[in-house]
């Protein structure tokens, strides 16, 4: 097991386009989280899955954002109609219950 894997590492997109990011968590971890981090700030919580169920969403997660975790394995985060304010690092983390959150290396999104 090589940890939490995120793809792509970098994404440049034009405003108005849709983008999708993928996260592969540590295999035995049942919890998966998405966070967003902008320059000079700490990560901010977006959403949380326990197995395949999405149990919590932040108010930061507008209607343009959707996340899925089919079969409780990998997860995808889609942003529709991207805006320049969506430019950020999108981080995925996984954990076994509440122990030791492990983060991936993130996907850097730039909206031009």
Partner 1 sequence: EDQVTQSPEALRLQEGESSSLNCSYTVSGLRGLFWYRQDPGKGPEFLFTLYSAGEEKEKERLKATLTKKESFLHITAPKPEDSATYLCAVYTGTASKLTFGTGTRLQVTL
* Residues forming the site for partner 1 (CB under 8 A): 4, 6, 31, 33, 40-45, 48, 50, 55-56, 58, 91, 93, 98-106, 108
Q: DSSP code of 51?
A: T
Cis omega (within 30 of 0) for bond into 49: no
Q: Which is nearer to partner 1, 21 or 33 (CB)?
A: 33
CB of 48 to partner 1, least distance (A): 5
Largest CA distance in the chain: 38
CB of 81 to partner 1, least distance (A): 26
**Mapping DSSP to helix (H, G, I), strand (E, B) and coil, where does residue 94 land?**
strand
Q: Which is nearer to partner 1, 19 or 89 (CB)?
A: 89
**Mapping DSSP to helix (H, G, I), strand (E, B) and coil, where does residue 16 land?**
coil
- Positive or negative, the Cα torsion across 30, 104, 45, 89? negative
Q: Which is nearer to partner 1, 33 or 79 (CB)?
A: 33
CB of 50 to partner 1, least distance (A): 8
């Amino acid at each position: 097991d090589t940890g939490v894997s995120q793809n792509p590492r970098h994404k440049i997109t034009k405003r108005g386009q849709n983008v999708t990011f993928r996260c592969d968590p540590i295999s035995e971890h049942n919890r998966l989280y998405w966070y967003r981090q902008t320059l000079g700030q700490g990560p901010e919580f977006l959403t949380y899955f326990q197995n395949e169920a999405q149990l919590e969403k932040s108010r930061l997660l507008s209607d343009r954002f959707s996340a899925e975790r089919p079969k409780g394995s990998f997860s995808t985060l889609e942003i529709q109609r991207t805006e320049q304010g969506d430019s950020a690092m999108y981080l995925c983390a996984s954990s076994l219950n509440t122990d030791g959150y492990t983060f991936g290396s993130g996907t850097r999104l730039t909206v031009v």
